[in-house]
Amino acid sequence: MSIRLRLTLLYTVILALTLAVLGGILYGTQLQSIRREGEQMLASFAHRFVERLQAGGSEPAPPPPPPFPWREGMDERRFGDRLVYMQLLAPDGQVLARSEDLGEVILPLSTAGLRAVGRGESWLEIASVEEKRLLIYSAPIVVQDTITGAVQVARSIEEEDQYLGTLRRNLFVGSGLAVVIAFGAGWALSGMALRPIHRITQTA
């Protein structure tokens, strides 16, 4: 392998690694920002709802009739219309009530999530429901230090997935083009830098 090719490959590898690190940081930052924003929004809905149930008294709060309080006046829609979906669970995970736009769909709660809610902790997870990816936030309902159930709030993350997919493709394609251009530029520059040495060698 010639010195010129070695130098060119060295430049290219350094650039590729730099782009990979920067791309990973950018993608990871965007992913965390999107997930954090979605979690905060769902947590706000869930805690508002829990506060309304807890205000009902010491007895376990009955499931509210749909639509839920802050959805009054909204048109009825079906599952998949990118709304905020809600579901009320008993302490054992049995579904007590759910928002009308869910139809027959039941929001899942993993075994680990059910245990966390049983300990009085909130739980966040991503699940596929009816071929749609949902971000689901589950919050316990605590009345006089007793967990009387849980409320689940979910929203579709399809738009976020599409955005992140586009970002991945753009980073991959842009980095690939940059590496190809860098290889060509490195090949030309290394040739110019080594030209005097090549002349000296030929003269010697």
Interval 157-176: pLDDT, tens: 888 888 899 999 999 999 88
Q: What are the tokens at 26?
A: 């950018």
Interval 108-142: pLDDT, tens: 999 999 999 989 899 999 988 888 889 999 999 88
Number of helical H runs and strand E runs in the chain: 3, 5
Report pLDDT for 156: 87
Return the domain boundaries, the chain.
Answer: 26-161
Q: What are the tokens at 174?
A: 């842009």
What is the second-level CATH architecture of the domain 26-161? 2-Layer Sandwich (3.30)
pTM of the model: 0.68
DSSP state of 188: H
Please give the single-letter amino acid code of residue 77: R
CA neighbours closer than 13 Å in the CB half-sphere of residue 129: 22
